[in-house]
Amino acid sequence: MKKSINFSKVIFIMGILLLILINLTACQQTTNTRPNNNNSDDEEILIDQEFDRILGVIKNVDTANRRLFVYDIENEKLVTLNIDGSVVLQNKFGEPITLQQFKMGDMVRTKYEINTLVPEQVQITAQVWEFQRVSNVIVNKENQTVQRGNDHFKYTDEVLVLYNGIPIEITDVTPNDQVTLKGYRDKVWVIILDSGHGFIELKNHEYFIDGIIEVGSNIMEVIKSRTRIPVPVGVHRIVIDKPQHDPVIREVMIEKDQVVILDLGRDVPREGDLKINLAQSDVKVYINGKRFDDLSNPIRLPFGVYVIVAEKEGYLRYEDSINFNQPQFSYPINLEKQEQQVISNYMHVNSPSNVELYLNGDYIGMIPVSIPIKPGNHSITLRREGYFSKLYTVEILDNGKDSFFTFPELVKIQSNTEGNSENVNETNVQE
């Protein structure tokens, strides 16, 4: 009886142990099944994801919503990247940075998931070219090119031009500005205006016209009646030079888009030396009505307008007005000879009397007449009412002597004698 009870206890205990073993086995199987299900889900997620890689320019940084607006320069499209805590952000040296450290104009490489637009990594790339703080950059808007020295780059409408982090127009860039250029291959994508330009405008500078203005060591221009010179931002040494005048030196501070007026009125001399050079001797010279006898030395005069008169017997009177505005001014005068009046010989016609005399077709008077006449051949016509007219050709010799002529009487019209023409030489010439 006692053995039967002990055997029952043993069976009972073994049953309990068997149940415990079954439960433990079931739990182990459940645990081993779960990882297999999870791995299957992950594989499905990885299969559904698609990624894209781009090289682009940051057009905007939205730190509030943690977004980067990047223009893909290879595919020419704007991509908005969502930046969460899992995204690796790096500078061009591979060092970690924050979203706030990215700025407009940075060129980056990134790989992002197309559906979520979440990148794995965004890094400022060193695989682009960059020229820092260069000047004499020429923008050709018509051809959409940028020239730096002998290098020519293209640009598109998507080029980003910045000044103090603010977008500006590319037409605001001049050769006088210092800029940083960033680009890839043959295109420039970012232009940063490091220092802009202002202007220097000259005032009361008439005296210095055709002189030279130098700004620093890079800018040199000829001074004109209207002079406005674009100058880079900063402090500059200005030198204004004109022959026969000490250089004018100024120092000015130029700010962007500012116009600095440079008044040269106080630098203009108030008087100078006028040297009159005469081509002839014994010439009487008057300046504003005052005669100056000694012209061997320069005449000291205040600047202004003067009337100069020069006279000499046998020469034409000279008169001119000058604007005297130079410290030293040489003024030449060369008088023109006055034409000598031709002293004519005289022709005396004594007969026939009471007859009209015409010389070369012009009426002279009634014979006897005496008139001045030049040497050479002349026509003489004799007329009288009721008589035939007579035409003669006479020669006046160039010997300085007077000529005397006596012509035949005219023939009345009632007679049968016809008028004719004759050649008559001068006769009875009196010295």
What token pair was written down for 302? Answer: 């205040």
Q: Is the pLDDT of residue 340 over 50?
A: yes
> What pLDDT band is residue 415 in, cutting at 50, 70 and 90?
low
Instruction: Please list the residues that pair with 377 across neighbouring strands.
Output: 395
- What sign for the dihedral angle of Cα 94, 116, 100, 134? positive
> What pLDDT does residue 48 have?
60
Write the pLDDT tens digit of every residue in 281-334. Answer: 999 999 999 999 999 999 999 988 999 999 999 899 999 999 998 888 899 999
> What pLDDT does residue 418 have?
47
**Long-range contacts for 352-357 (Cβ within 8 Å, ≥24 apart)?**
352/382, 352/384, 352/407, 352/408, 352/409, 352/410, 354/384, 355/382, 355/383, 355/384, 355/387, 355/410, 356/382, 356/383, 356/384, 357/381, 357/382
> What pLDDT band is residue 425 in, cutting at 50, 70 and 90?
very low
Q: Which of 29-33, 48-52, 103-107, 160-164 has the lowest mean pLDDT?
A: 29-33
Q: Which of 5-9, 83-87, 139-143 has the lowest mean pLDDT?
A: 5-9
Q: Which residue, among 329, 263, 276, has the nearest Cα to 302 in the 3D structure? A: 329
Amino acid at 430: Q
> What pLDDT band is residue 18 in, cutting at 50, 70 and 90?
low
pLDDT, greater one: 325 or 127: 127
Write the pLDDT tens digit of every residue in 175-197. Answer: 989 999 999 999 999 999 998 88
> What pLDDT band is residue 426 in, cutting at 50, 70 and 90?
very low
Assess contact for 81 and 122: CB atoms under 8 A. Answer: yes
Average per-residue pLDDT in the chain? 85
> What pLDDT band is residue 338 in, cutting at 50, 70 and 90?
confident
Q: Is the pLDDT of residue 1 over 50?
A: no
For the chain, domains (ranges, CATH) are 54-124 (2.40.50.320), 129-195 (2.40.50), 197-267 (2.60.40.1120), 271-333 (no CATH), 345-423 (2.60.40.1120)
Q: Is the pLDDT of residue 42 over 50?
A: no
> What pLDDT does residue 218 have?
81
> What pLDDT does residue 330 have?
93
Q: Which residues contact 405 (CB under 8 A, 6 or more apart)?
A: 347, 348, 349, 350, 380, 394, 424, 426, 427
- Residue whose structure tokens are 């046998």: 314
Write the pLDDT tens digit of every residue in 375-405. Answer: 889 999 999 999 999 999 999 888 888 999 9
> What pLDDT does residue 140 have?
96
> What pLDDT does residue 3 have?
43
> What pLDDT does residue 33 have?
39
Write the pLDDT tens digit of every residue in 196-247. Answer: 888 999 999 988 899 999 998 888 899 998 888 888 888 999 999 988 778 9
Q: What percent of the chain has pLDDT over 90?
A: 62
Q: Is the pLDDT of residue 136 over 60?
A: yes
- Residue whose structure tokens are 């060193």: 126
Give the pLDDT mean for 99-118: 96
Q: Which residue, among 225, 194, 192, has the nearest Cα to 208 in the 3D structure? A: 225
